[in-house]
Amino acid sequence: MTILVTGGAGFIGSNFVLDWLATCSEPVVNLDKLTYAGNLENLAELEGNPRHIFVQGDIGDTALVESLMREHQPRAVLNFAAESHVDRSIHGPEAFIQTNIVGTFRLLEAVRSWWGQLPADGKVRFRFLHVSTDEVYGSLEKTAPAFTESHSYEPNSPYSASKASSDHLVRAYHHTYGLPVLTTNCSNNYGPYHFPEKLIPLVIVNALSGKPLPVYGDGQQIRDWLYVKDHCAAIRRVLEAGVCGETYNVGGWNEKANLDIVTEVCALLDELRPREDGVHYRMQITHVPDRPGHDRRYAIDARKIERELHWRPAETFATGIRKTVQWYLDHPQWVANVQSGSYRDWVAQNYEGRPA
């Protein structure tokens, strides 16, 4: 048996592939377009591993996906492939429409065509697992209940709107065609191999470089933080025991304001890699104008996956963030290699060029 993973060289996808091959005997066909956030260095330890078959390609390439389905006959397709950064979606939304909506549609069509030709028992065993985000639910007031799976969709950015659209397509393919789908909506992930445009790795990298640590607005935007390897474990559990057509929210039970996250990372760096001049890293914090339409709070109610599938995160935020900071300290070459000129230009555009 084999599984097909899309977006398996990105942050969450590569962590999933690494953990899957470390814990399961089943091979992985890994399809990734290798855009700016897809990085084969994430998978370096799998070089020469016959159970990892990497294919560079686009989920929107129907002929390619159909050929991979025929050749490898996977029992499941797990769709991690997505454009996933809100700030980038504000600067250039079209890429998000193409990948997250059109790409998901074409992937579903290719999978449906192949699935429709399977014998009855193969159809029953097959799964299409779509990895999504809590951002599709919109923004919460500070005292409002956390998002449940029945919360209405109210996306507020081009990114979240494109992911909401892909979720609706996945749901429609189950109810219209009977495709056996599963959907997971996760909270903010953090951990190894996180591209350093996102908050936590950006803070670590900038702090060590002596650069400002940009915090949007007052820094009181609240998110639920989920260690990426906990997320991967949840996806494995949903694939194993989830009910077709169902959605499962995956959260870390760690609601924290962005400014508090930055401060905690600074405190860990003070302990693990103090500045030579003895100044605390928090002195590098700089508040910048908020981004347009910035959602104030996300919070995941993950009781359904705990109640029905008996999954709960293993890491607290304290244990997960310490592992994350230590990973970045131990992998300076990985950080240096992903910080290309185009990445530096984009950071300058997004933070330094932001209108007041």
**Tens of each residue's pLDDT in the chain, 356 residues:** 999 999 999 999 999 999 999 999 999 999 999 887 788 999 999 999 999 999 999 999 999 999 999 999 999 999 999 987 677 888 889 999 999 999 999 999 999 999 999 999 999 999 999 999 999 999 999 999 999 999 999 999 999 999 999 999 999 999 999 999 999 999 999 999 998 888 999 999 999 999 999 999 999 999 999 999 999 999 999 999 999 999 999 999 999 999 999 999 999 999 999 999 999 999 999 999 998 888 999 999 999 999 999 999 999 999 999 999 999 999 999 998 888 755 456 446 654 654 54
Catalytic-role residue among 137, 159, 173, 190: 159
Q: Taking Cα atoms as reference points, which of 90, 24, 41, 144 lies closest to residue 293?
A: 90
Coil, strand or helix: which one is 76? Answer: strand
Q: How many CB atoms lie within 10 A of CB 125?
A: 12
Residue 267 is predicted with a pLDDT of 98
Strands 127-133 and 76-79: parallel
Q: How many CB atoms lie within 10 A of CB 31?
A: 28
Residue 151 is predicted with a pLDDT of 97
The CATH architecture one would assign to domain 3-193+227-253+294-316 is 3-Layer(aba) Sandwich (3.40)
Q: Taking Cα atoms as reference points, which of 213, 285, 224, 211 lies closest to residue 257?
A: 224
**Contact by Cβ (8 Å): 205, 332:** no
Q: CB-hemisphere CA count at 13 Å for 84?
A: 24
Enumerate the domain spans of the chain.
3-193+227-253+294-316
Q: Can you count the helices (H) and strands (E) in the chain?
A: 14, 12
Catalytic-role residue among 32, 58, 83, 134: 134
Any catalytic annotation for residue 45? no
Residue 38 is predicted with a pLDDT of 85
Catalytic-role residue among 135, 197, 224, 255: 135
Residue 346 is predicted with a pLDDT of 43
The token pair at 84 is 């996933």
Any catalytic annotation for residue 159? yes
Coil, strand or helix: which one is 184? Answer: strand
| CA–CA separation, 262 and 189 (whole Å) | 15
Chain centroid to CA 67: 26
Any catalytic annotation for residue 277? no
